[in-house]
Every structure is written in C-alpha cells, then in structure tokens.
Structure 1
Amino acid sequence: MIELTGWEPRGIPVDWSAIEGELGVPLPADYKELCEAFGGGTFSDSVSFLGRDEGISFDFLAQWRVALSVDRDSTLGYVSAVDPYAIYAPGGKGMVTWGSTEWADEYCWLIDAERPGDYPVLARSHDGGPWHWYDMSTSEFLYRVLADADFQPFGIAQYDLGTTFEPGTGCPSGGRPL
C-alpha cells in the first residue's frame, strides 16, 4: 500500500494492547501496520479507511463503539444493520467495520472471539446486496480495491481515480463518517 500510494509512513504510535483489550481479540497484524503507517483517512478520494485518528470520522474504535451501541439498542428493534450478522461484541462473534466508500460500500471483518486470528473480509456493495466473503488480508483486499479494475464489484481502478491517500487527522468536519 505504501508503494502503491507513494505514501511516507507516519509511524503513528498506537496502544494496541488497550484497543485489543477492549475488543477482547487481537486485530490482524497487517491492519495494525496500515494504521501505524497511514492512520485513518481516505484512499483515492473515495475509500475511507478507519485507523487511529484524533477525530471520530476515521477512528476505528470510536466507530465500532457507536455501531455496537446502535446494534444493542432495543428501542430500535431487533434488525441489525449488518444482517444476517451482528456487530461484534467482546467475547462473541460479529462484524467490525474497517472501511467504506463514498458510494456506501462497506468493508468489515467477521470476528469470532473463539477463533482469534481468523479475520475474513466481508464486503457489501452500496445496493445493499449480499455480503461477499474474502479469505484474504485487509491490505490485500484494500490493494485490490484500489489497483485491480477486475476486482468486482469492489475494484475502483477502472475509474482512474489515482492511488492517493489523504489523512483525516483530527478533522471531524473534513472526514466522511460511516
């Protein structure tokens, strides 16, 4: 991803033990590397990446907390936004969003606390269609979205948007929340 975007790694310090302690599971190693190199922000002016950010827009943990509270709010009924799944709750099994697009595509992991280290990527296109299952790393999925025009329905290379990255550091008004 660094080579693809020409990005200079930021070396962002992240307290992974605190984050993983709150989640109750370790996060994928390649995702942690992406977070430390990029932080949260936007690839190719259209793909939002949730990492660590001073603002809420691109902050992975803040976005997960909001999604979990909404998913657990019984006043909203019992339909999950990620149906047929649920938002991951510590010790359970569910989805955690790590990215999205301006077209409302969603990129998540399916996390099972009983199977730490197994993080398939689940993605759903903007039309609310079915979830697509990918047995690949976060960085491989993100790379294919940005660079592989044949990676359908999620590849954006066909639109010739370039492969840039714009950090979202501490700019809630400039970010695109999920």
Structure 2
Amino acid sequence: MVRVEELEAALAAMTQWRAPGGRGVDWGVLEADLGTALPVDFRSLAAAYPVLVIGDFLTVSLPAPGAEAAWASESRNDEILQDLHEMEDMEDYVPYPQPGGLISWGESDRGDAFYWKTSPADPDAWPVVIRTDNADWIGFPMGVVEFLTGWFGHTLDVPGLPGSFPGGSPAVRGLSDRVG
C-alpha cells in the first residue's frame, strides 16, 4: 500500500497543509454513521490533511473533526449518484449503500467525480472509479493515495481528464476545518 509520504513526495506543495500531530477525525462516529470502514490509506490522508484543492481543479474531500456525521451523510445520500442511477447512466455501478456501491472522495471543477467502488469487502482493496465530465466511467485497481501518487508523480495515465493537469507542480490549497 502506498503511504501518504509517497504522495507528499509526488505533490510537495501539499505538505504546507499537514496538521502537526494529526487532525483528530473521529473514525468511530464517521464509520458508524456511514455503515462501513474506510480504507487505511484514506484514513491516513484525512488524519494529516484538511480538504485539499489541487491546481484549482481537483478537490479531495476529507472529513473534518466535528463534521464526521455530515461527511458520512453526504456519502450515503449522494444525490448525483442517485439521479444517475435512476437515469440508468451508471454502467454496472450502483450508489452506496447498495452492495458494491460508489462512495465519493473527490470532484473536479469540470464535473469529473472520483469514487471508491465498495467491493470487495476489504476497504483496503476498494478500487478508484472516475466518472468524467463526458460521462465515461474508468476504473483503477488501486486506492486513493496510490492513485493520486501515480497521477501527480506522472506514472499513471488518467484518460478522459485534461492532459494539462496536473502539470509540473500544481498549487495546493487546504480548506479550513471550521465546523458551523
């Protein structure tokens, strides 16, 4: 499994947003409300970082301390996925909490959406799935941190997304953890 430190090496600009000593996300609350455990690599990323906006293009949604239930609720009740499912525009995918359903962990400013497919049963084996703004569905047999490390380290081709992104070294903004 790829570690957060490897992502930091591929995307050095993110390190300015690392929370010294961690962020204190209550995983018990979040995972109980969500109804599933989440992958260890994502938990490590969220323990160290707030929501990240990379290159003014990609937003990586990371739960904030004190807002775990809200993050879980948004993931469980993803209206966009529900609409796509009703329109039968999801290929063989389904929204969570259906078995093997998709849970969002990011989005682009162009309408691309980034998910996990919650199958197999082990969250650490959940693959990344992207729905591009052109309605193409693309799967990657890896976790979030490995996917981001490959993309920003230029070792992973991500078809359907702008060829100019991520570029040489995209700027990274961290969004506040303030709740309320």
TM class, shorter-length: 0.7 to 0.9
CA distance in 1, matches of 2:117, 2:81: 18
Give unpaired runs (5+ residues) of structure 2. Answer: 1-6
Equivalent residue runs for 1:5-154 within 5 Å:
5-6=12-13, 7-8=15-16, 9-10=18-19, 11-53=22-64, 60-67=71-78, 71=82, 78-79=86-87, 82-89=90-97, 92-112=99-119, 115-117=121-123, 118-129=125-136, 131-148=137-154, 151-153=157-159
8 Å contact kept, 2:81–2:95: no
Stretches of 4+ moved more than 3 A in 1?
Answer: 53-56, 80-84, 154-159
Q: Distance in 1 between matches of 2:135 and 2:80?
A: 22
Q: Which amino acid aligns with 2:32?
A: G
Q: Tell me how far apart the structure 1 counterparts of residues 178 and 28 of structure 2 sit (CA, whole Å).
A: 25
Identity of aligned residues (%): 21
Aligned residue for 2:101, secondary structure, equals strand
Shift in CA distance, 133/150, structure 1 to aligned 2, threshold 3 Å: closer
Distance 1:67 1:83, change over 3 A: farther
Shift in Å, 1:88: 0.8
**Change in 2 beyond 3 A, CA 1:94/1:77:** closer
How far is 1:158 from its partner?
A: 3.8
- Structure-2 separation of matches of 1:169 and 1:40: 8
Query: Normalised by the size of structure 1, how large is the TM-score?
Result: 0.74
Amino acid at match of 2:41: D
What RMSD, in angstroms, separates the aligned Cα atoms of the two structures? 3.3
TM-score scaled by length of structure 2: 0.73
Q: Compared with structure 1, are the counterparts of its residues 155 and 79 closer, same or farther at alpha carbon in structure 2 (3 Å cutoff)?
A: closer
